[in-house]
């Protein structure tokens, strides 16, 4: 292995979505250095933050069938029951909903919460309210996915926030996805909601930190004979 390969293997990967932004920040830093060096150093710090924001570290996803994993890094901001968006065709009965708030310091690459098939993708233009507010799930710009998995359906909703101005989705309707597989990202600071099947008990609590593709949110097969799972 060459020195270059050795150094590269130690660095956290950057999602391709981030390279144009990192390049723009770096170019702005060079211009600022030319104008006044203290501004250039501030631009350099901003460039480092931009590279940090677009990091895409590898994750080890639990492979047990029926597990629902976190689609995002961040803080569990809500564990409640709510009626899912009507255009997802998940009925009018309140379903268990887990909300994850991503700050501008969290990794923003989103991962599929379960293995299955993307049945539907619905995008809505909207406002850019604080993503931590409950009404953000209805009023804000959002992108909704319904995934058929383990004989049932779950939904994951990407919600833009105060700073976020762009929701990116990498998958399409009808596509098969694996648990923990990258399906999109949101720039810069936002929230994801996961709607679970009726009666599914969440395995996380408000205030807990989640890791995309690794933290187990629920077990869809918890009622199976001999099935047991303990979080933490």
Catalytically active residues are 190
DSSP 8-state secondary structure symbol assigned to residue 18: G
Coil, helix or strand at residue 141: coil
Q: How far apart, in whole angstroms, are the C-alpha atoms of residue 84 and residue 20? A: 35
Report yes or no: 84 and 59 within 8 Å, Cβ to Cβ: no
The contacts of residue 38 (CB under 8 Å, 6+ apart) are none
CA nearest to 212, candidates 105, 92, 58: 58
Q: What is the separation, in whole angstroms, between the first and last Cα of the chain? A: 38
Please count the CA atoms within 13 angstroms of the CA of 46 that sit on its side-chain side. 16
CA of residue 66 relative to chain centroid, distance: 19
Residue 152 burial by CB count (10 A; 0-12/13-18/19+): exposed, middle or buried? middle
Structure tokens at 231: 């979080």
């Amino acid at each position: 292995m060459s020195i270059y390969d050795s150094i590269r293997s130690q660095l956290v990967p950057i999602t391709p979505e981030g390279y144009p932004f990192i390049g723009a920040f770096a170019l702005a830093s060079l211009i600022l250095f030319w104008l006044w060096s203290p501004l250039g150093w501030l631009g350099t710090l901003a460039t480092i933050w931009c590279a940090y924001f677009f990091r895409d570290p590898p994750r080890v996803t639990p492979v047990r069938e029926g597990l629902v994993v976190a689609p995002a890094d961040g803080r569990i901001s809500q564990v409640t029951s709510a009626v899912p968006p009507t255009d997802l065709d998940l009925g009018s009965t309140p379903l268990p909903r887990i909300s994850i708030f991503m700050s501008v310091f969290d990794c923003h690459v989103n991962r599929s919460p379960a293995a299955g098939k993307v049945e539907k993708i619905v995008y809505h233009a909207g406002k850019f309210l604080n993503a931590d507010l409950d009404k953000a799930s209805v009023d804000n710009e959002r992108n909704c996915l319904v995934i058929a998995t383990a004989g049932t359906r779950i939904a994951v909703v990407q919600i833009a926030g105060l700073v976020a101005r762009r929701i990116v989705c990498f998958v399409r309707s009808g596509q098969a996805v694996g648990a923990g597989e990258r399906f999109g990202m949101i720039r810069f600071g936002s929230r994801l909601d996961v709607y679970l099947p009726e009666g599914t008990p969440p395995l996380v609590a408000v205030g807990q930190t989640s890791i995309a593709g690794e933290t187990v949110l629920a077990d869809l097969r918890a009622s199976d004979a001999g099935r047991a799972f303990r979080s933490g």
